[in-house]
Amino acid sequence: MPYTLVLFHAHPDDEAIATGGTMARASSEGHRVVLVSATRGELGEHAPGALAPGESLVERRVAELHDAAAILGVDRVEFLGYLDSGMAGEPTNGAEGSFASADVEEAAVRLAGILAEEGADVLTIYDENGNYGHPDHIQVHRVGVRAAELAGTRRVYEATANRDHLKRLMAEIPTDEDVGEAPTDLDGLGVTEDRITTTVDVRAFVDRKRAAMVAHASQIPADSFFLQLPIEAFREAFGWEWFIRRDGPRDRRETSLFDGLGGS
């Protein structure tokens, strides 16, 4: 039976990188997919020439998000209305209206309203470190946990990265491969493999996921490391998406966000 999946992210482009395949797969399986972004990504750096004359970064990132959402089969896109807080340690973390400084209860009420309106069966947030320590990502975790409590959404998954899998992949990429500047601090990304409860195989949807990433051209330019990866390396790096299920035993192993729903 179809379910409603709500995905809560911090900024435009986060959704494509972390959960784009899951969104495309859920949509193709007939589930309702709802994307909520806490901010419009006001403080993101952008590639040179990414903006049209007179265009603001906010306008560009909102347009990119809607384009990516269409590619992934998203049924509804919403913004919570907070401002991008910038990277950890920047003065903007505490700016008025920033998501990182928002009252958790107030923000959770906003998100819970969407969850209740949609009758959400599943909510995705981030792990407790926001995948890599960004203050807005950490706030997504806090706000998402509380919103699920308020709305009575019992199935909550923390989107994360499989640090061990990515390290293995990086070791296999030939050193003479011209793929741009590779990420180096994998120890600060995601979690170790043993903490992951749910691994979703999205390799059949990786072309749509990549297209959604391409749609975020202001943040992921064509010459980025990710988009320069050979297609098979890209498929293995982005063809799996990882989650930690918050309810029940942490030693479970699943391959879907919908396992066991509706008594199935």
What span, in angstroms and rounded, lies between the C-alpha atoms of 149 and 162?
Answer: 27
Question: Is residue 82 scored above 90 in pLDDT?
Answer: yes
Inter-residue contact 121 to 155 (CB < 8 Å) = yes
Mean pLDDT of the chain: 93
What span, in angstroms and rounded, lies between the C-alpha atoms of 86 and 74?
Answer: 26
Inter-residue contact 227 to 210 (CB < 8 Å) = yes
Structure tokens of 186? 């994998």
- DSSP-derived 3-state class of residue 222: coil
- pLDDT computed for residue 181 by the predictor: 52
Q: pLDDT: is 125 or 251 the higher one?
A: 125
What span, in angstroms and rounded, lies between the C-alpha atoms of 210 and 35?
Answer: 18
- pLDDT computed for residue 186 by the predictor: 85
What span, in angstroms and rounded, lies between the C-alpha atoms of 147 and 226?
Answer: 33
Q: List the domains of the chain with CATH numbers.
A: 4-259 (3.40.50.10320)
- pLDDT computed for residue 49 by the predictor: 83
- pLDDT computed for residue 173 by the predictor: 64
- pLDDT computed for residue 264 by the predictor: 39
Tell me: the pLDDT tens digits for 3-53? 999 999 999 999 999 999 999 999 999 999 999 999 999 999 887 888 999
Nearest to 18 by CA among 242, 222, 217, 214: 242
What span, in angstroms and rounded, lies between the C-alpha atoms of 39 and 85?
Answer: 9
Tell me: the pLDDT tens digits for 55-68? 999 999 999 999 99
